[in-house]
Structure 1
Amino acid sequence: MFKKFTILSLLGFLLFSCEKKPAQLTDEEYSNLTDEQKRSSKHAVDGIILEDDRLELTLFASEPMMSNPTNMDIDDRGRIWIAEAYNYRNTLNPRNPTRAEGDRILIMEDTDGDGVADVSKVFYQGNDINAALGIAVFGDKVYVSVSPYVYVFTDADGDDIPEKKEILFQGVGGIQHDHGMHAFTFGPDGKFYFNYGNNGEGLHHADGSPIIDPLGRPVNNQTQPYKEGMVFRMNPDGSDTEILAWNFRNNYEVATDSYGRMWQSDNDDDGNRSTRINYVMDYGNYGFKDEFTGADWRSRRINIEDSVYLQHWHLNDPGVVPNLLQTYAGSPTGILIYEGKLLPEEYQNQMIHSDPGPNIVRAYPAVPSGAGFSAKIINLLDGNPRDNWFRPSDVTVAPDGSLFISDWYDPGVGGHAMGDLDRGRVYRLAPKDVDYNVVKPDYTSISSLITLLQNPNRATHFKSFMALVAKGNEAKDALEKLFTEGESRMRARAFWVLTKLPNGNDYIKTAATDTDENIRVAAIRAYRNNKMSDVSFLLEMAGDESAQVRREVALAIRYKSNPEVWLKLVEGYESGDRWYLEALGIAAEGFWDDYLPLYLADKEQNWMGNQAAKDIVWRSRSSNTSVLLGKIILSQPGRNNLSFYRAFDFQSPSSKNSTLKTLLATAPEEDQLIILRQIIFDPTSPDREVLDLAKKTAGSIADDRDFLDIVSKYGLTDQKVRLEKLIYQSENDQNSQKAADSYASLYGMEAVSLSINDKDQAKAITSIEKFGTIDNESMARLLATIYLDESKSVEVRTAAMDAAKGFNSEPYLWELAKADQIPADMIPIAQKILQSSWNGTIRAEANEKFGTASAKTTSDISKLITQKGDIEKGLMIANNYCLACHKIADKGIDFGPGLSEIGDKLSKEGLYNSIINPSEGMGFGYETQLVKMKDGTQFTCIVNSKTENDLVVKLIGTSEQKIYKLVDVESVTQLDESLMPKFPLSETELVDLVSYLETLRK
């Protein structure tokens, strides 16, 4: 009877297994679905293109079981843990309802084995975890990252109800901020790795004390060299927290491989096609802001790169670690190193990454290249061709080796806004016909632990690692067997456990002689973790044949003077290997005055004929580096010196100025302009020699931007003719505007008045249009003398009225409007300006005075998305409104986020919402800042950076940066209202505009 039952059951199972799952809809079938059907979970998989036909994508969980997953983890039982964000940025989204009980941490499980979650339980709920961005499950502890805190929940009895909640870290900047604290991951060395984005600001223990670096410096963005996004690691109990890398923008997650190497993605300033993938070299500066000044990447500098993505990360600067890969447009989030065997070979041991911006999941196979790596891109999942609401927020590996993807599912990608509250999905990606099956792990026997140690799931890896360490020498033989006979990465995993045993340092020395360079890399990293101090060992490893190993030796001598080791390492440097050069620089930090003279003495008089030696000088920071840079420049005249000139900016100001002034007397004439741009000049105590040269040189400067920089920097008043030419004839609007600003600053508003009141009407109108770009009250008053003067022609008055716009100009216009002083024929223009004002108060009061805009836009986005607009008319509307503050291709002003590929990033719904409700989705770095000066003046702007001495801002509608001395600034306050106004567009105009914006794709 039992045998008969077994056979029937097996037959039934086979019949069930042979049932074909529904094929994905064809393009035509999918296009015939209604929008409501496309958004339904029933067709979730149909909306995603699977690029590899050997794999199968299935829906594991969806609404109403869960919604809005920001981050995900999978425990050793195969259960999916989700951090939800229903209450995401609810203070900025007043239209969205709020879950009063707070956001949730969910556990979802498939209990009946059909590959679909049927149980969803709440592990924790509360307003203290609203919009958490990180969830990590390790044993009986759950780490939840929600700035300004990292919480640790303990569930000791395993009933999925935490007994306690503790603060691990606090003081991380940005409450409910996408650029704050992100998720934790387990490294093969037994440590936890984590990061925060550039709103993190600093890291503090639970008692409020700051994390301290090995030199006793607090780790925060006020301490040089630390700034912007950072990467950390710590012991599982929170001790020995280390700062590992810095100067990222929004490095959303960090991933480690079995050798202990770190990898992560990083987001650009929105819309600049500069997102990147990094191999994270310990103690590296990754170049988002200027290392010394903290200046924004847009700041003009010597040797600035030609393309935005190179400019964006200061990749030409000495002291910046190179990028592994550019992924261009995107909003990157979750990342992992896939070390399982279930997925096809090309994905094994490689990065897999989710990017909700372009609606894609990718793999990035990387291979060693010198001391660094090169990589390529393989697409796995792509929602953009069909469903651009697919927003993959995280990727995680299950114990069976399958890949799980969480889907925020929204018309936008966060950035402080959310268009859909109720949907959210989790998918499973695995080879076809491979069911989800997780065997209960056994952590008691050593043989089972050795198997579990090799599991690709981090939660399983963690528990087996800790259990094997606890067993100590009892597990030694089995670990040694895996270390001897296993595959490379699993050998490394065994090695890391062996280093925790009583004789662990012996295994480090054994691994250092291994034939596998990756095991030797792990050996050097373990040397650091075990806090070994054996210079003879490092000296021997400094001669390793592998640049990858030598890179690790360089990082191992950071903070400690080891001239013998460094000099041995520098022998292995080959010019062109930037990774190696930066590793040498990291190692020499604080010791350049010891190392560099010894290195150059060994080269005797021939070092300037050696490109590798010149590279070392370029990267160096010794007290004599400026003099050495000067010698190189004099020895090789020409434009190839730009990189060496830029290197002066990383030396002490006094040595830099001294050498540059010396070069003025001896450098080629073509270099004098470079020196004038670079030398430090104090207008209150001017150096007459430098000023005289500036006056002599200005007239012959070919590049208009250089000319304007020199005229402005040195306050030259003898270049009036060329300034006027630039104002009137320049094809570059930014140059024309800057020239007008300089002209007014140098010659005063009386000179401007003469131009705009020219007796020749055509000339007067042209002058009004050009000088009208000056946005201040003085210009507003000057324009008013024209449009208020009814004796002047309508054409001239209209031009003046049209030019009266601008954030700093409109308050004066509004005062005139409130006093009913604007002539009747000018009121329609004034009304349009005021009802479209960047100033929300003026806009609201103007609407009240004039009545709501005559063409009122509907807020019912669900109706708008069903309409098709006129793309050509939308282009004209974009030219009239968008280009005033956004770049589209090579047109427009680089003030707000770039729009060149906005059709890829936002769905139609997202585009409508960003226009109708701009304050709900301010991109980070583009928030409205109110600056109050000590003299009583105030203005709103975008703050690009705040350096030790300066506040660097962009004023509304300009791409140029303006610098204010911090001593003159009283306060900087972030406002909730976007600088982008709610334009008074009709419904038809809005539909046309969105129809055009949808076409802006890569």
Structure 2
Amino acid sequence: MPIYLFKMKRPIYSILLAASVIFSCSKSQKSKLTDAQYAQLTEEEKRSSEHALDGIVVEDERIELTLFASEPMMINPTNMDVDDRGRVWITEAYNYRSHLNPRNPTNEEGDRILIMTDTNGDGVADESKVFYQGNDINAALGIAVLGEKVYVSVSPYVYVFTDADGDDVPEKKEILFEGVGGVQHDHGMHAFTFGPDGKLYFNYGNEGKGIHYADGSPILDPLGRPVNSETHPYREGMVFRMDPDGTDVEVLAWNFRNNYEVAVDSYGRMWQSDNDDDGNRGTRINYVMDYGNYGFKDEMTGADWRTRRINMEDSIPLQHWHLNDPGVVPNMLQTYAGSPTGILVYEGDLLPDDYHNQLIHSDAGPNIVRAYITKPDGAGFSASIKNLMNGNGRDNWFRPSDVTVAPDGSLFVSDWYDPGVGGHAMGDQERGRVYRLAPHGVDYDLPKHNYNNIESLVFLLQNPNRATHFKAFMALVEKGEEAKETLETLYADGDSRMRARAFWVLTKLPEGNNFIQLASSDPDPNIRVAAIRASRINQLNDPNFLLRMAEDENIQVRREVALAIRYQKNEDVWLKLAASYQSGDRWFLEALGIAADGFWDEYISAYLANKQDSWMQIPEATDIVWRSRSSQTSELLGKIILSQPGRNNQRYYRALDFQEPSSKTKVLKSLLASAPEEDQLIILRQINFDPTSPDRELLSLAKKTAGDIVDDRDFLDIVSKYGISDQKERLKSLVYQSENNRHSQMAAIIYASLYGLDDIKNEFDTGDQVKIVTALEKFGTIDNENMAKLLAQYYTDESKPVEIRTAAMEAAKGYNSEPYLMELAKAGKIPADVLPIAQKILLSSWNGNLRAEANELFGDAAGKEYDMAKLVAANGSVENGKTIASNYCLACHKIGNEGIDFGPGLSEIGDKLSKEGLFNAIINPSEGMGFGYETQLVKMKDGTEFTCIVNSKTENDLIVKLVGSSEQKIYKLDQVESVTQLDESLMPKFPLSESELVDLVSYLETLRK
């Protein structure tokens, strides 16, 4: 019997009858199917666990993939951990987003935490038990099993379960943190992991917004500032660490989008993946530098990355992270399209040497598990990609949600298994898998650890499994001086990373600071890095320590010294570090900036002392001034700009945006008189201008300059900003041009604001029929009630040619125009020959209330039930689908260089969603709203209201995108009554026939890398 997606036969829980389920299968693996054989399988066969291994390609022939567990033993694993006994723990998500997916069945008892055990060592789980079940953990996104504590992340809470007697039944459940993001939000709290320093590390995505203790009190930074998205400099996703008991919480980095997990290596260095705004090919891997700003939103204003700015990067993946801005830490690696999930540092030795000490990462979007081979790059790192598991090309329901290392060094991968990758939707509730990766023929070695003997504990301290590492670390600290000698032996004779693990324990023993001093002179620079990190944790009180380390020959060590003085004024150390900076090492430049925060006035003055004006010819000095935030930086930037005419000064102009506004304006005004002529346009774009009290000098220059501006977008910006009305012909030519529809629409809106609708009506009444139709198409993109009324004069006038009336009717769409169209429809004032166009517009409206009215008025054309199995089995016309996409999708989505950048980009959507996922995204758009694209209802204090996408909110401004526009609009917060998130997507349910749906999806499937 086929299992129909979205219409489930029965809840999976009906066959999971007890807390313990016995399940077994043979480890022996049949020969893998060839591509041709796999293609011959039915959809039902491809989705079965019997063919799970056939759907995945292991790209390293030295490694064998086995199926450890699958449905019905477990389903929908969102996150996973492996305890020190080799048992696999997962959090399930049968009730994922149940409040937004009412069509999916739910389990009233709530979601589960499962423990799956391979009792006989054959690499296949044969026992499963429920550790905990409840609606309070529905769709948990993180689990960490550390000793008797189990940390479970399920926004807006973090729970800690305690199982002191080890019977796999928790005696208590406590709230560790609260107030972290929305309920069940994918961009909220994520998993915890153990670091080698005895700390727990964790993170949350950009829905986290802030973090509070269980009593509701906020977590504060060292300066007493609450750590939340409203407090500068903190923005968006963040990284934290704390002691295992929940105390001493520190914020370590910020301004990520959806940093799903953080991984920590034995030296204490942090690594993360981060997801872009869906569809923009900006997914990245970060080396996480302490106290770093990672650039998702504008540091100063909180503006979205799409906001036009000086020195804007030349491609979307780079623009996405503000990488040209001072104060943004670089990305280690861009992986372009993806939906990244679990990540770890593999410090075992079971897998081949290539993977030792490298990052391993699961990315659910492209159905892949990869290794990232890292190497030092100045004060930071670069990386290359090595694919490990790949479902793309065979089973694109393979959605790896996490990767974890077992005590024997084998790699476990959990598979959510779904036609989509989350967001707010789930297409399959009945399946889920866990795989094991190990060299061929290596059985699963079930550990039997001894935590009492010191030699055994030191051996276990080196285990690649975090749960084992944790228990050994804590036991050795408890042993104290008794463990010192054996730890010193490991520190002296072990390999580098295991020496580091011994070092961290030694720092916790009495006189631990002596080991920090010893490690600071170690021949291995990575051990010296660990020493500096430990000096911060232990609060080493040695005024000469960092000054000595600032002279270290290794740039990565000096980076750590810079980060170590973040909150302490230490001019001598900073100057020594700055003297070693070499231009081009952005990592080290940002470390210097992080160190100088709060002390820039003193540091920059001392740095430039005795250099006179020669510093302007020194690249290192101009870099440091570019990064600086002192009260004199604006003036210094102005000097650089004047000192190098003819060069590209945009980076220095952009740096002015990060200075105090009045000093920035003063410098820009002074540059008008003396800067090169080519810079005047930049100054006009960048300087503040108040049209209610215009600066006559600026206005005069803008009028003089406008006619000579070559770039069309620059021209539109200047004409709009300064209200220049003597460029009518060029503005009109931009309205009528066909190369860039976005510029055409912008030009039409500006034209209307400058010359009024009467002038536009003259365009509608002048010339031959072809010209009038073109005018209606171009100016009709203005979306407001006045234009709607003007267009109505043409499509309701039955004396006019049908071509003109049709063009006017087709232009009558738009969020702000359609209410008037509905008024006419309800009044029966739309002529019969253009009524079908009006019906299609209103039934496809982005306004949910209008859609409901249209369905009642015309019949629920968009509410029909589709036969999903029939749709999936059908093949359509790609060419017809492209036309349908042009008619419907491009109004709000980008496909390649075409369309409007309003909703998620679709350029590579065929890689991200399966065929089933594509159908569901179109048929049920509210179930799969991407984060950052949710519908927001804004009510203004003057009584007006509108729906939009909120890009960001600053202390003073609400920055939004209105439906069907790629441009942002700014509203003052003191004029806003409320902002409310709605459950209904702005994307309408288009009234498409089954054949049109099939054609559209056939085309969307071709949109791949």
Question: TM-score of the superposition, structure 1-length normalised?
Answer: 0.97
Q: 1:11 maps to what in 2?
A: none
* Deviation at residue 821 of structure 1 after TM alignment: 1.3
Q: 2:99 maps to what in 1?
A: 91
Q: Is the 8 A contact 1:85 1:132 kept in 2?
A: yes
Greater mean deviation of Cα atoms: 435-444 or 469-478: 435-444
Residues 1-12 of structure 1 mapped to structure 2, 5 A cutoff: none
Residues 827-838 of structure 1 mapped to structure 2, 5 A cutoff: 827-838=835-846
Amino acid at match of 2:88: I
Q: Is the 8 A contact 1:773 1:803 kept in 2?
A: yes
Q: 1:539 maps to what in 2?
A: 547
Residues 140-289 of structure 1 mapped to structure 2, 5 A cutoff: 140-289=148-297
Greater mean deviation of Cα atoms: 281-290 or 530-539: 530-539
Match of 2:698 among 685, 690, 693: 690
In structure 2, the CA distance between the partners of 1:856 and 1:584, relative to structure 1 (3 Å rule), is closer
The runs of at least 4 aligned residues of structure 1 exceeding 4 Å deviation read 855-858
Q: Does 1:988 align with 2:988?
A: no
Q: Is the 8 A contact 2:608 2:615 kept in 1?
A: yes
Amino acid at match of 2:123: G
Q: Which runs of 5+ in 2 are unaligned?
A: 1-25
Match of 2:878 among 859, 867, 871: 871
Amino acid at match of 1:771: F
Q: Percent identity?
A: 76
Q: Does 1:313 align with 2:321?
A: yes
**Structure 1: how far apart are the matches of 2:410 and 2:472?**
19
SS in 2 for 1:81: strand
Amino acid at match of 2:497: R
**Structure 1: how far apart are the matches of 2:904 and 2:359?**
28
Residues 777-816 of structure 1 mapped to structure 2, 5 A cutoff: 777-816=785-824
Match of 2:37 among 23, 29, 50: 29
SS in 1 for 2:609: helix
**Structure 2: how far apart are the matches of 1:325 and 1:466?**
35
Amino acid at match of 1:823: P
1:738-787 per-residue CA deviation (whole Å, 9 max, x = no partner) reads: 01111111222222222223354332222111111011111111111221
Residues 416-565 of structure 1 mapped to structure 2, 5 A cutoff: 416-565=424-573
Q: Is the 8 A contact 1:858 1:987 kept in 2?
A: no
Match of 1:894 among 877, 901, 916: 901
Residues 567-586 of structure 1 mapped to structure 2, 5 A cutoff: 567-586=575-594
**Structure 2: how far apart are the matches of 1:850 and 1:571?**
74
**Structure 2: how far apart are the matches of 1:200 and 1:57?**
36
**Structure 1: how far apart are the matches of 2:723 and 2:578?**
46
**Structure 2: how far apart are the matches of 1:602 and 1:342?**
58
**Structure 2: how far apart are the matches of 1:657 and 1:842?**
46
**Structure 1: how far apart are the matches of 2:234 and 2:723?**
35
Q: Is the 8 A contact 1:857 1:987 kept in 2?
A: no
Amino acid at match of 1:169: F
**Structure 2: how far apart are the matches of 1:809 and 1:722?**
27
Match of 1:70 among 60, 78, 93: 78
1:49-104 per-residue CA deviation (whole Å, 9 max, x = no partner) reads: 00001110000000011111100001000000000011111111111001111111
**Structure 2: how far apart are the matches of 1:449 and 1:602?**
57
Q: 1:402 maps to what in 2?
A: 410
Q: 2:965 maps to what in 1?
A: 958
SS in 2 for 1:376: strand
Residues 298-447 of structure 1 mapped to structure 2, 5 A cutoff: 298-447=306-455
**Structure 2: how far apart are the matches of 1:291 and 1:534?**
34
* Deviation at residue 300 of structure 1 after TM alignment: 0.6
**Structure 1: how far apart are the matches of 2:241 and 2:283?**
24
* Deviation at residue 872 of structure 1 after TM alignment: 1.3
1:701-751 per-residue CA deviation (whole Å, 9 max, x = no partner) reads: 111101111111112222222111111125210001001111111222222
Amino acid at match of 2:939: K
Question: TM-score of the superposition, structure 2-length normalised?
Answer: 0.97
**Structure 2: how far apart are the matches of 1:607 and 1:336?**
44
Amino acid at match of 1:65: M
Q: Is the 8 A contact 2:866 2:994 kept in 1?
A: no
Aligned length, in residue pairs: 985
* Deviation at residue 377 of structure 1 after TM alignment: 0.1
In structure 2, the CA distance between the partners of 1:909 and 1:169, relative to structure 1 (3 Å rule), is same
Match of 1:937 among 930, 941, 944: 944
SS in 1 for 2:611: helix
Greater mean deviation of Cα atoms: 219-228 or 976-985: 976-985
Q: 1:590 maps to what in 2?
A: 598
Q: Is the 8 A contact 1:305 1:316 kept in 2?
A: yes
**Structure 2: how far apart are the matches of 1:892 and 1:266?**
26
Q: 1:903 maps to what in 2?
A: 910
Q: Does 1:678 align with 2:686?
A: yes
1:256-277 per-residue CA deviation (whole Å, 9 max, x = no partner) reads: 0000000000000000011000
Q: Does 1:603 align with 2:585?
A: no
Greater mean deviation of Cα atoms: 865-874 or 378-387: 865-874
Q: Is the 8 A contact 2:148 2:162 kept in 1?
A: yes
In structure 2, the CA distance between the partners of 1:160 and 1:19, relative to structure 1 (3 Å rule), is closer
Amino acid at match of 1:974: Q
1:961-983 per-residue CA deviation (whole Å, 9 max, x = no partner) reads: 11222122111111111111111
Q: 2:724 maps to what in 1?
A: 716
Residues 61-140 of structure 1 mapped to structure 2, 5 A cutoff: 61-140=69-148
**Structure 2: how far apart are the matches of 1:179 and 1:772?**
38
In structure 2, the CA distance between the partners of 1:763 and 1:19, relative to structure 1 (3 Å rule), is closer
**Structure 1: how far apart are the matches of 2:278 and 2:305?**
13
SS in 2 for 1:435: coil
* Deviation at residue 438 of structure 1 after TM alignment: 1.7
* Deviation at residue 643 of structure 1 after TM alignment: 0.5
**Structure 2: how far apart are the matches of 1:889 and 1:124?**
47
**Structure 2: how far apart are the matches of 1:384 and 1:354?**
13
Amino acid at match of 1:187: G
* Deviation at residue 167 of structure 1 after TM alignment: 0.5
In structure 2, the CA distance between the partners of 1:231 and 1:642, relative to structure 1 (3 Å rule), is same
SS in 1 for 2:334: strand
Q: 1:973 maps to what in 2?
A: 980
**Structure 1: how far apart are the matches of 2:954 and 2:434?**
43
**Structure 2: how far apart are the matches of 1:602 and 1:259?**
39
* Deviation at residue 639 of structure 1 after TM alignment: 4.4
SS in 1 for 2:800: coil
Greater mean deviation of Cα atoms: 615-624 or 989-998: 989-998
Greater mean deviation of Cα atoms: 664-673 or 866-875: 866-875
**Structure 2: how far apart are the matches of 1:128 and 1:602?**
64
Q: Is the 8 A contact 1:618 1:644 kept in 2?
A: yes
Q: 2:1007 maps to what in 1?
A: 1000
Q: Is the 8 A contact 1:856 1:987 kept in 2?
A: no
**Structure 1: how far apart are the matches of 2:279 and 2:887?**
20
Q: Is the 8 A contact 2:27 2:124 kept in 1?
A: no
**Structure 1: how far apart are the matches of 2:284 and 2:628?**
26
Q: Is the 8 A contact 1:68 1:424 kept in 2?
A: yes
**Structure 1: how far apart are the matches of 2:539 and 2:869?**
61
**Structure 1: how far apart are the matches of 2:296 and 2:279?**
15
SS in 2 for 1:56: strand
SS in 2 for 1:815: helix
Q: Is the 8 A contact 1:211 1:218 kept in 2?
A: yes
1:13-56 per-residue CA deviation (whole Å, 9 max, x = no partner) reads: xxxxx996322111111111111111000110110000001110
Q: 1:7 maps to what in 2?
A: none
Q: 2:50 maps to what in 1?
A: 42
Q: Which runs of 5+ in 1 are unaligned?
A: 1-17
